[in-house]
Structure 1
Amino acid sequence: MSNASENSTRTVLVTGGNRGIGRAIAERFLEAGYHVAVTSRSGEGGPEGALTVKADVTDTASLDTAFSQVEAEFGHVEILVANAGITRDMLLLRMTEEDFSEVINTNLTGIFRSVKRATKGMLRAKFGRIILISSVVGLYGSPGQVNYATAKAGLVGMARSITRELGSRGITANVVAPGFIETDMTAALPEETQKEYLSAIPAGRFGEVADIANTVSWLASDEASYISGAVIPVDGGLGMGH
């Protein structure tokens, strides 16, 4: 990754950057010297050194206000890491339309809202990095996650369409697909379930949030300026790039 002095004028916004993978990504950019902002639903809880703004990705007006706050502090967003998401896991026959639509609205439409708002400044600057946080589930599938997998798979088509629309304007759009990453959410799973997942991972270990943060920071760097429309799995071989 490029050094801090080269990136000190660039602004990063990480949605859902107050915990888990999003927080680790924000901290990685802070270490590298970027101006970093994160969104959270409460407007609190972001890492030290980051500007934390209140935003709900299901609310366009809320997002617009958050972006305006970031722009007032740092200038336009040059790097967007669209990470905010929820789960409503349930087997298909028991999944309600509300369970499905809530996940789609946050994990897919919410990212569309975030990207659309961010590209306004990127187009003016003729520079932008759009990084969408998907999941191995979006490519590999998972029982009980029809809604989540659908949303995460949709991000692939989104990134590739954005690449074809905006690639000539200095804007890249890529997808990072994490596998089983050690977070508070995964730690709460029963031990037997964790063992079952582990047995399917060729690397023989679960991932760490740093694995995702390092990949995202590289995609945002000048070293990855000719990569767009790509799906990068960070899953220890679980999905085999599907």
Structure 2
Amino acid sequence: MKLEGKVAIITGGAGGLGKETSLLFASEGAHVVIADYHKNLAEDTAKEINGLGFCVDVSKRDQVDRMVSEVIQQFGKIDILINNAGITMDSTLVKMTQVEWDQVISINQTGVFHCTQSVVPHMIKEGYGRIINTSSIVGRMGNFGQTNYAATKAAVIAMTQTWAKELGRKGINVNAVAPGFIMTSMTEKMPENVLQRMKEKVSLQRLGTPRDIANTYLFLASDDSSYINGAVIPVDGGLSI
């Protein structure tokens, strides 16, 4: 198993891409810690994989620090951090409210900062770590109605590459994944003609699956990627080329 004995925190780990990653990591031998805003979902998913579940708002530093402290007490280390938690509050520039801007920034950007800064001292102590941040193709391409979301995903790329420079010498690899169109519970509700247009934009002519993203997280979290640092891997079926 690729992650035997590793301790992995997965934010947003109780739904969608995060849950798929939690299930996969557990099957590969990791001790999975699920940090999710939804308490019941976090606890239910944790029970499913015999992991730990925490109700955490990553925009609140005290909640993040409390979770990290409890994980260290339980396991003595943190090997892997998947910064997967994120939200969307879409609106065009002229209609976007301050609340829509602030909330997306606080979760998608500040939340990544909070979790990483809280975990990194423990990784430095062990001389080992894998940090994987969830960006998006819109972080490089932009997207209509997503000023706030695209800004955070561009910031995640910048933070990833900065941290790779700072932390690589400490034995910590920092990389990012940039998903494209992924089939989730939200996209499944879209009209078939809309889904078809999305597929036609992708050179592979299909939408991605949550497992496509989870497999990439697994690769970056494992020793198979030991010489990859500061990379931003698009998992988009060729949409961004």
Tell me which residue corresponds to 2:13. 17
**2:43 is equivalent to residue 43 of structure 1:** no
Cα distance in 2, alignment partners of residues 91 and 38 from structure 1: 33
Alignment of 1:46-57 (within 5 A): 46=42, 47=45, 48-49=48-49, 50-57=51-58
Note the C-alpha offset of 1:42. Answer: 3.3
- In structure 1, what residue type is equivalent to 2:57? D
Alignment of 1:105-124 (within 5 A): 105-124=106-125
Superposed CA RMSD? 1.2
Alignment of 1:89-238 (within 5 A): 89-238=90-239
1:75-108 C-alpha deviation (Å, 9 max, x unpaired): 2211000000100001111111221121111101
Cα distance in 1, alignment partners of residues 40 and 67 from structure 2: 13
* Higher deviation after alignment, 212-221 or 93-102: 93-102
Note the C-alpha offset of 1:70. Answer: 1.8
1:164-223 C-alpha deviation (Å, 9 max, x unpaired): 111101001000001111111222333333222111111100000000001110101111
Cα distance in 2, alignment partners of residues 79 and 125 from structure 1: 12
Note the C-alpha offset of 1:36. Answer: 0.6
Cα distance in 2, alignment partners of residues 192 and 101 from structure 1: 33
- In structure 1, what residue type is equivalent to 2:23? E
Cα distance in 1, alignment partners of residues 192 and 147 from structure 2: 24
- In structure 1, what residue type is equivalent to 2:161? R
SS of match in other structure, 2:40: coil
Cα distance in 2, alignment partners of residues 183 and 57 from structure 1: 22
Tell me which residue corresponds to 1:72. 73
Note the C-alpha offset of 1:52. Answer: 0.7
Note the C-alpha offset of 1:136. Answer: 1.2
TM (norm. structure 1) is 0.94
SS of match in other structure, 1:92: coil
- In structure 2, what residue type is equivalent to 1:34? A
Cα distance in 1, alignment partners of residues 27 and 122 from structure 2: 24
What count of residue pairs does the alignment treat as equivalent?
Answer: 236
Note the C-alpha offset of 1:67. Answer: 1.3
Identity %: 40
1:10-37 C-alpha deviation (Å, 9 max, x unpaired): 1000001000000111111001011111
- In structure 2, what residue type is equivalent to 1:35? H
Q: Which runs of 5+ in 1 are unaligned?
A: none
Cα distance in 2, alignment partners of residues 75 and 17 from structure 1: 21
Cα distance in 1, alignment partners of residues 166 and 12 from structure 2: 26
Cα distance in 2, alignment partners of residues 31 and 67 from structure 1: 23
- In structure 2, what residue type is equivalent to 1:95? M
Note the C-alpha offset of 1:68. Answer: 1.8
TM (norm. structure 2) is 0.94
